[in-house]
Chain A
Amino acid sequence: MSPLSTRERKLLEMARRETDPAHWDRFQPITRGPVVALLGMACLGLVVPFYGVWTVVMKSLGRRS
């Protein structure tokens, strides 16, 4: 089996926490109404393009080094 990427390791750790009752509340739905949900999505929506550009830049730098 090939070694896990950093992202896969983080996701595996998240899966372990999600199935641990001690972290139960951190995986519950956020249900504070549609306004909060839309604001949250809008904020995260700003992050997506930034993260995409950041990933491309880092990969490009990684290839050069």
Chain B
Amino acid sequence: MSTPPSPDFDVIVVGSGPSGAQAAHTAVAHGAKVALVDVGHVDDTYAGTVPDRPFSEVRRYDPAQSRFFLGEHLEGALHDTRAVGAQLTPPRKHIIRDTARLLPVESDTFAPLQSLALGGLGAGWGAGASTYEPAELRRAGLPPEAVTRYYAPLARDIGVSGPADDDTSPHHAALTALQPPLDVDSNGEALLRTYAAKRRRLNTQGFKVGRLPLAVLSEPLGRRQPNPYHDMDFWSDHRESVYRPGLTVTELTAQPNFTHVNRTLATRFSDEGRGRVVVHGDNVDTGGRVTLTCRRLVLAAGAVNTARLALRSLSGPGTRVPLLCNPYTYLPVLNLPMLGRPARDRRHSFAQVTGLLVPPDHPEEQVVANCFSYRSLLLFKLVREMPLPPALGLQLTRLIVTSLVVVGIHHPDAPSTDRYLTLQDTGNGGDVLTARVARSDAETGTERRRERQILRHLVTLRCLPLHVIRLMTGASIHYAGTLPFADDEGPLTCAHDGRLRPTTSVYVADSAPWRFLPAKGLTFTLMANARRVADAVIASLERTP
């Protein structure tokens, strides 16, 4: 009997998003021979055309601005504002390129944002670097001490700025190694001033306000430069002040034990036992088949697509897996102390202030309200939403824009039999993920009640709500729970070290195993947990070479 040849790699990581990049980084640092498989779309249309200048200057002087503000095909001007990816600016549209064709999801109730870009959804994330507190980690099935010890080194490596302490700090795991917080803009300052005056009243009602830690530099870090407060963060990555997972992948390509298998969509895997896994994929440019072998496979394609790979490879059509996704509502509000007053142009584009509603009966079911000023996304998009003739809508927008705050409300999510994914045959040799996402009356009632509480607290903060906009499930861009952690050996579940059952050599480094999705942004914990899983993978290689 012949012995199969040695695997090509010690570790193959599928996906270059926040989890994949950090898992690969950790495995490479241990000296393992690592390949990262991804499609890796980049912006090859607008890169280099967006000037490294403040938004206000670009608007006033740049004769070529319409090219990147509106897009070559007016893709930034003509769209359904509630469609998947509508929030992406033309220089970020590459994030969702080819996903409808290569990662199909059929559902009337779930519209996920998926990515085949270098850096995955991290190529456009809002840079929120919240940490989870132990109760949230435990409910998600993540071992608190094992995860939180990765927070500080991760913050140091990717660069996180934020306050050392504020009223929301007791509801996060402590985060050291922070850079100083970024400056808040005029709206944020006004909100924090009002909060200081009303703090006691709001706190007794379980509402706290603070600054969101951001993976945005306020001090230099290596070749990366601090944020220049140009308010162009939705349009370009000048100075690399915002952490993007693609930065980690690009750095890894200089390492001799790292291979970037780019332009490749992983389609399935087979665990052949005895520490040998075969990964199959397609080259998206040539259509050619790609086959790679490894000793350990790490899936980090995002909770939805990791589930797609696992179902296709291990189960087959018809099997259901659960799905978690944060319900998301946003509301434009008028910050009345800013009404009619000028706002400073010097600002960054990310969340300025965050609010936390902490239900006394279920403190881990916090609801998050992140506050963004509306400035660099152009006025005509607001006019579109107004029930007024465009000319009048523009005048109203000019009157209110300096005081306009967009509040994004995220609710937590827990497993339900009403929310699941299934892989279905399409009959022509292909398959498609189908999803059903329904919320019970009790869940909806709880969410509405907590939104009303937040609305009341916003009024206390002198913010006048204008409208409540509820998007289809999936718009939060936070997905989890498809291959849940479990203590028993059930198939399509994960052990606590991330190993996917019934395999012996396939691990999951993204949020697919989480059994609970807190309302706080998941990305920072995703990255910390990916490092933890990668360490477990390396340990397993050392135990059974």
Contact = CB atoms under 8 A, between A and B. Distances in A.
B379 interface: yes
Nearest to B389: A51
Contacts of A58: none
A18 B401 CA distance: 15
Interface string B58-88: 0111110110011000100110000000000
A15 B380 contact: yes
Interface string B23-62: 0000000000000000000000000000000000001111
B387 A18 contact: no
Nearest to A49: B387
A7 B358 CA distance: 43
A42 to B, nearest CB: 11
B175 interface: no
Contacts of A47: 388, 392
A36 B62 contact: no
| Residue among A12, A14, A15, A38 with max Cβ neighbours from chain B (10 Å) | A15
B396 A31 contact: no
Interface residues of B, number: 38
A44 B395 contact: yes
A26 B533 CA distance: 54
A63 interface: no
A47 to B, nearest CB: 6
Contacts of B383: 11, 14
B378 A15 contact: yes
B341 A31 contact: yes
A25 to B, nearest CB: 9
B387 A48 contact: yes
Interface in A9-57: 10-12, 14-16, 18-21, 24, 26-38, 40-41, 44, 47-48, 51-52
Nearest to A4: B78
Given A19-B378, A20-B66, A31 B392 contact: no
B375 to A, nearest CB: 9
Contact of B340 (A14, A26, A37, A51): A37
A28 B398 contact: yes
Contacts of A51: 387-389, 392
B402 interface: yes
Interface string B130-142: 0000000000000
Interface residues of A, number: 34
B342 interface: yes
Given A27-B398, A37-B400, A41-B399, A18 B341 contact: no
Main secondary structure of the interface of B (DSSP, over half): helix
B342 A29 contact: yes
Contacts of B398: 27-30
| Residue among B60, B63, B340, B388 with max Cβ neighbours from chain A (10 Å) | B340
A36 to B, nearest CB: 6
B340 A44 contact: no
Contact of B399 (A11, A14, A30): A30
Contacts of B336: 34
Contacts of A11: 77, 380, 383-384, 390
B438 interface: no
B455 interface: no
A28 B398 CA distance: 6
Contact of A40 (B61, B62, B391, B395): B395
Contacts of A10: 389-391
Given A31-B340, A44-B388, A12 B74 contact: yes
B314 interface: no
Interface string B328-349: 0000000010011111000000
A29 to B, nearest CB: 5
Nearest to A36: B340
Interface in B379-413: 379-380, 383-384, 387-392, 394-396, 398-403
Contacts of A33: 340-341
A10 B69 CA distance: 17
Contacts of B65: 19, 21
Contacts of B396: 40-41, 44
Interface string B238-262: 0000000000000000000000000
Contacts of B402: 29, 31
A27 to B, nearest CB: 6
B62 A7 contact: no
A28 to B, nearest CB: 7
Interface of A: 4, 7-8, 10-12, 14-16, 18-21, 24, 26-38, 40-41, 44, 47-48, 51-52
11 contacts: A11-B77, A12-B74, A15-B70, A15-B378, A19-B65, A31-B341, A33-B340, A37-B400, A37-B403, A48-B387, A48-B388
Interface of B: 59-63, 65-66, 69-70, 74, 77-78, 336, 339-343, 378-380, 383-384, 387-392, 394-396, 398-403
Given A12-B74, A15-B74, 10 more contacts: A8-B78, A11-B380, A15-B70, A16-B77, A19-B65, A24-B59, A30-B399, A37-B399, A44-B396, A52-B387
